[in-house]
Structure 1
Amino acid sequence: MMVNRVKCLLVAAFTMLSLTFSNILIAQEHEGETSHEEMVHEEGVKEEGENKFDAKEVIFGHVMDAHEFHFYSYKGSDGEEHHATIPLPVILYSPQKGLSTFMSSKFHHGHEEVDGYRLVENKIVPVDPSVQVYDLSLTRNVVQMFIALAILVWLMTGVAKRYREGQGVTTAPKGFQNAVEPVIAFIRDEVAKPNIGHKYKKFMPYLLTVFFFILINNIFGLIPGSANVTGNIAFTAVLGVLSFLVINLNGNKHYWGHIMNPPVPFGIKFIMVPVEILSIFTKAFALIIRLFANMLAGHIIIICLISLIFIFSAISKGVGVGFAPVSVAFASFIYIIEVLIAFIQAYIFTNLTAVFIGQAVEETHHGEDDHHQAPTEPVII
């Protein structure tokens, strides 16, 4: 696919630039060493604490989960750094201390302790190592997922209500209903029917829910300051497990017979049976990793391209300013591609799920069944 090729090319270019300029930075560091080692060390520590741009912290701070929505930071007139954030509720339970609830802003970005807990790298840990704690907090991934779920339910129930009232049945659909109907028809006609067959109606609710839920979370993840939910392995793992259950719980005798007794010579069965059993899990694993890797990679590439401005500024202010238009142009290009990928990845996850379901519900004599059942299949225009 052309989009994946462009992303791979940009990753390769970024890697080469990073390796090149990292060598320059290392060379400059060695050139700066003098016999006054203590003086240089003190100045280096001061510069590191005040001016050094930590790309790793910025990248992982964006793609990892957190206890707040962080938009930007700025230095106020008082000389102190301030953060524009939306704090989230912290819910902790400890068998020794009981239940603790408070807002994450009380941690003051890790500088304060609250009820015997502290925030270390976006993780809440007890000050006393002997205390056991269970973190039930509403992190930004959880909150954004709930928001996406609420929007999905609100939009779809609104569309369903209009259909019940006759709009879109006796009259032409309007508004959001007009935008959703072609998507639903596309999933039905291009995903469910070709891959599942005449049993497609049974799985349409699940396929539509998965498609729209992934799509909404993908789009939300492109908003600056939001959480990259679909780039979280826990989120994609849950979707993969759900698809795993739907696929295998609906598997017929032919599906399980092919796995447990594959149509190969008897001596080969001892090899093929473990392979077929492993394939049950690799299907779900492929769904999990594909969505996670693609959505995570796009965000990292965009942040890396923007971070190059600050990395080059550490070499020279002129280099940083000169490279800024190039970095912004490439980042904007990748951002536009990510909008396209948000739709593509939702479609791929849904389509692969339909393919695996179709393999599980396929009849023994698929060709003959299709021949007999073809005349009874309704034609929907």
Structure 2
Amino acid sequence: MTMVNLESSPLNTTKRFVLLAVIFVLGLVSTNVYAEENGSHETGEEAHSSEFNAGKFVMEHVSDSFEWHILTYGHTHVSIPLPIILYSHNSGLNVFSSSKFHHGTETYRNFRIEHEGENEGKIVELNQQGEVIGLPLDLSMTKAVIGIFVSVIVILLVFLNVAKAAKKRSGEAPKGLQNLVEPIILFIRDEVAIPAIGKDKSEKFLPFLLTLFFFILINNFLGLIPIFPFGANVTGNIAVTMVLALFTFVITTINANKHYWKEIYNPDVPWWLKYPLPLMPIVELTGVFTKPFVLMVRLFANMMAGHMIVTVFVSLIFIFANLKGPVAGGLVSPLSIAFSVFILLLDVLVSFIQAYVFTLLSALYFGMATSEHH
């Protein structure tokens, strides 16, 4: 029997790291899973008069939140509260569970979740009279943040196993998970990085491009699984796509050569397009900032739209049940579910396409920034 030195094994170290990351995430979200009666915060008249709000239902399921909603049974909400981390100039650092807000219906430590106005969905600070006095610095662990941690754990588990298999089966045909991932890696290298950047320079940008592709792809897939701890609409959050686009922008700007900047500030065009009004330099400089903006909006809009369409089809069941009664809701439910499944399957294809397009455009930007002058 072959004995393995566990103390010196790199794989064992990485497994311990993944285990600690899992424990960290579970510790963040497992403060308490609580079920609360919605009727306890409503008068009897309000509870009976409340009707299904399709717009609110759709937005609640596609937007970020301070708690992870599991299910609603009747008037009972089952949710996992997430950590609230706020810094206020008046009260300093405040750390507490989002369960203190009771689904956003109550105020805690002079903070509350705003449900209307320009600060809708944000945490605002109140004075002793209950008036809004400003927005604290919000560093809370929202659903999207926890979703990112979950996706990172999945990525680590997948690629640590693939790396182990590749090392163990060196020189042999890949099998299992390695056989699934390796062709994708070769595709990004041979069909995206090398054609867009060049064979000599592509190796420098390949780690980022692979990380970008698999991060977007796995988060797209996890967002389609409506079961905790998956289902967070990470790539449908514009803050996440903005950060990804900023990474591309910063890497492009840092690695750009003198010919790239020359074509921006002094492009080879007729003189009357540059003097007396620097029309082309303005257009080229604007393009430097519109490229990452387009990356951000394209990924956000496509993934957000897919989630919204699914929730709209599901909400049709409750809309018909409210308008025509439970029988109408039951009759429309097969059609609604069929369309929802079709959109989900279409979203699987869109997930691949959006990850590929974001990676390809990033590679093209790197190629344009590093290409030699001819």
Name the TM-score class by shorter chain.
Answer: 0.7 to 0.9
1:66 aligns with 2:68: no
Pairing of 1:184-333 with structure 2 (within 5 A): 184-198=185-199, 199-224=201-226, 226-269=231-274, 270-317=278-325, 318-333=327-342
Q: Does 1:153 align with 2:156?
A: yes
Residues 98-126 of structure 1, C-alpha deviation per residue, up to 9 Å, x if partnerless?
22222111221123332222233343222
CA distance in 2 between partners of 1:92 and 1:149 (Å): 25
Preserved CA contact (<8 Å) 2:248 2:292: yes
CA contact (8 A) 1:71 1:224 kept: no
Report Cα offsets for 1:86-106 as digits up to 9, x if no partner: 111111222221222221112
How many Å apart are 1:162 and its aligned residue? Answer: 4.0
Offset of residue 143 of structure 1: 1.0
Contact 2:87–2:93 under 8 Å retained in 1: yes
Which residue of the partner structure matches residue 29 of structure 2?
none
Matches of 1:356 and 1:175 in 2, distance apart?
A: 34
- Kept after mapping to 2: 8 A contact 1:287/1:349: yes
1:288 partner letter: M
The answer as to whether partners of 1:94 and 1:131 remain within 8 angstroms in 2 is: no
Q: Which residue of 2 aligns with 1:379?
A: none
Alignment CA distance shift 1:132-1:236 (3 Å)? closer
Distance in 2 of aligned mates of 1:83 and 1:63: 18
Greater shift after overlay, 111-120 or 271-280? 111-120
Report matched runs for 1:1-381 at 5 Å: 46=45, 50-75=49-74, 81-121=75-115, 122-128=121-127, 129-130=132-133, 133-163=136-166, 166-198=167-199, 199-224=201-226, 226-269=231-274, 270-317=278-325, 318-365=327-374
Q: CA RMSD in A?
A: 2.0
Q: Which amino acid in the other structure matches residue 291 of structure 1? A: L
Looking at structure 1, the residues matched to 264 and 136 of structure 2 have their Cα atoms a distance apart, in angstroms, of 43
Return closer, same or farther for 1:364/1:72 CA change in 2, 3 Å cut-off.
same
Secondary structure of the structure 2 residue equivalent to 1:100: strand
CA contact 2:64–2:142 (8 Å) conserved in 1: yes
Q: Rate the CA distance shift 1:178–1:53 in 2: closer, same or farther, 3 A.
A: same
Larger Rg, first or second structure (1 or 2): 1
Query: In structure 1, what is the Cα distance between the partners aligned to 2:170 and 2:194?
Result: 22
Offset from partner CA, 1:196-240 (integer Å, 9 cap, x none): 112111100000000011111111111216221111111111111
The amino acid that maps onto 2:172 is T
Aligned length: 314
Write the deviation string for residues 281-323 of structure 1: whole angstroms up to 9, x where unpaired.
Answer: 1111111111011000011111111111221222212433222
- What's the TM-score, normalizing by structure 1? 0.78
Q: Does structure 2 retain, via aligned residues, the 8 Å contact 1:95–1:132? A: no
1:173 shift after superposition: 2.7
Q: Secondary structure at the match of 1:239?
A: helix
Distance in 1 between residues matched to 2:197 and 2:305, nearest whole Å:
31
Q: Distance in 2 between matches of 1:119 and 1:181?
A: 46
Distance 1:69 1:100 in 2: 20
Report deviation, 1:47. Answer: 7.8
Q: Tell me which amino acid in the other structure corresponds to 1:210.
A: L
Q: Distance in 2 between matches of 1:212 and 1:50?
A: 47
**Distance in 2 separating the partners of 1:307 and 1:55:** 6
Instruction: Report the CA distance shift for 1:286/1:49 in structure 2 as closer, same or farther (over 3 A).
Output: farther
Q: 1:123 to 1:308 in 2, by over 3 A?
A: same
TM-score norm. by structure 2 comes to 0.79
